[in-house]
Amino acid sequence: MSDLSFEEALKQLDAILESLNDDNLTLEQAIQYYEEGIRLHQCCEALLNEASNRFTEINESLKS
């Protein structure tokens, strides 16, 4: 999952959220979607942290 871009992971997460709103979803399917959603959320969070660190590094280098 680490090879996903932020935009791809977010798009997949949106699709999962939409799927979870399906009234015909079984409990097992809902659990599987939830697990995948958690993994995608963690991926997005890691990518955002990485981007934030890069911005910090850039700003610090400009101060010198």
CB atoms within 10 A of CB 8: 14
- Compute the distance between CA of residue 15 and CA of residue 27 in angstroms, rounded to an integer: 18
Least confident of 1-5, 27-31, 59-63: 1-5
Write down the pLDDT at residue 2.
67
What's this model's pTM, rounded to 2 decimal places? 0.84
Is 80 exceeded by the pLDDT of residue 1? no
Alpha carbon 19 to chain centroid distance? Answer: 16
9-33 burial code (b ≥16 CB/10 A, e <16)? bbebbeebeeeeeeeeeeeeeeeeb
By the 8 A CB rule, do 37 and 16 touch? Answer: yes
